[in-house]
Amino acid sequence: MIDISLLGAGYWGSKISEQLKQIEDVGEIEIVDIKDGKTIDDIRFNNVIVATPAWEHHHQTVELLKKGKNLYVEKPLASTHDECVEIADHIKDQILMVGHIFLYNDRLHKIKEIIESGAIGEIKYIESNRLNWGRFQKKISTLLSLAPHDISIVAYILGESELTNAHYNGVRITEYPQTDIDTYQFQYCGVDVKFNLSWYYPEKIRTMIFIGDKGMISWDEEKKTIKVTTDVWQNNWMNYEPTTEILNVESDPLQNELRDFIGCIKNKQQPISDINCALNVAKNLDILSKSLVH
């Protein structure tokens, strides 16, 4: 049995706690939370899940790695690429998983399978819409809070690389330093990509569009559906009655992710969302942050 210390029991930590109870290989779950007067020094077990605020991840991760702990750290691993490199330098023979949860989503796996089959041809454009009313943050931007998901997804589909030609547009609605509605456009592996990010939006929208030269895919994570459109051309003209298919792919990404963490501990293997994945995400977040114009 694998005993787990859960550092942080807020909004996301409480979800993790409930999911851990469903995993047969998990033994005791220790909650270490500041609300209970506990600190990182109170951790008893060698396997730790860090679900604290993002701005605390860097120093907590370094300290726990020095103690020899196996770690699952919620995204982002740190605020900058340099901080992630420092973290990497402290990894010995431990497991370090970063919470890029969409890499454990079976709907994304299905999308990659469709793309690799050639059904929609060569990918030319990707657009992500990650919009919601909350959870509003004062100490972190939409870039660090939301975009790690999208960068990890794009890298999963296209391969790990460095984005180029980044352009930014933002709207500040509140009086706080960060903007509340943000748009980033750039190129990744030669593909044009657009991110629309906001936590000041009247609807919860989590969609992603993949457009190829032979078809397109529309992924709605709220509806848990994938729409595949093919036969978009007919005699060199746009086909206004293309072939469409709606796929309903069941998935429990958080459960998949936690099971992978437990499996990696037991089998002493590295997870899908390892330090290399985190470094690639952080590198590209740094590039996007330099495109900010306030």
Residue 168: both structure tokens together = 């930014």
CA 41 to CA 279: how far, in whole Å?
27
| Domain 2-99+254-274 CATH assignment equals 3.40.50.720 | yes
For domain 103-252, which CATH number applies: 3.30.479.30, 3.20.20.60, 3.30.70.20, 3.30.360.10? 3.30.360.10
CA 66 to CA 88: how far, in whole Å?
11
CB within 8 A of 249, min separation 6: which ones?
106, 107, 110, 224, 226
pLDDT at 294: 44
Contact 146, 285 (CB under 8 A): no
- Look up residue 31 and give its amino acid: I
Per-residue pLDDT band at 177 (split at 50, 70, 90)? confident
- Look up residue 192 and give its amino acid: D
pLDDT at 34: 87
CB within 8 A of 38, min separation 6: which ones?
32
pLDDT at 179: 85
pLDDT in tens, 73-108: 999 999 999 999 999 999 999 999 999 999 999 999
Residue 107: both structure tokens together = 């709907």
Domain range list for the chain: 2-99+254-274, 103-252
Query: Is the pLDDT higher at 72 or at 177?
Result: 72
CA 225 to CA 105: how far, in whole Å?
12
Cα angle value 171/55/87 (rounded, 5°): 125
- Whole-model pTM: value is 0.94
CA 78 to CA 59: how far, in whole Å?
9
CA 73 to CA 97: how far, in whole Å?
6
